[in-house]
Amino acid sequence: MKLITAIIRPFKLDDVREALTEVGVSGITVTEVKGFGRQKGHTELYRGAEYQVDFLPKLKIECAVTQDSFDVAIDAIVNAAATGKVGDGKIFVVGLDQAIRIRTGEIGSDAL
């Protein structure tokens, strides 16, 4: 099992959710986050004053997948979240040793 964490642009959430649903990912967790990478923020104009926005709003999506559905889930996220511009985001993958469904006590891939 793998835990996929993707940082994406907020307006791409619906596209990513639909793409993951189509490939069989049954659940995701979404968190509003702020950060920067190579994009380094941007300058905005407010009431005639210019100011620097260092931390940009992003969404963090987390989903646990089986090894079998891992590659298609990654491809679905990349294809749905990409705009081709700086700031599209990143995907991080870590191994998932155990998953337990609290309600039923199911363990491993059955809990996903």
**CATH classification of the domain holding 30:** 3.30.70.120
Q: Average of pLDDT values for 26-39?
A: 87
42: confidence class by pLDDT, cuts 50, 70, 90: low
What is the reported pLDDT for 17?
Answer: 96
Buried b (16+ CB within 10 A) or exposed e, 4-30: bebbbbeebbebbeebbeeeebeebeb
pLDDT for 38 equals 72
Domain interval for residue 90: 2-111
How many domains would you assign to the chain? 1
Residue 71 confidence (pLDDT): 95
The whole-number pLDDT of residue 48 equals 73
Q: Look-up: residue for tokens 């709003």?
A: 57
Range 55-77 average pLDDT:
94
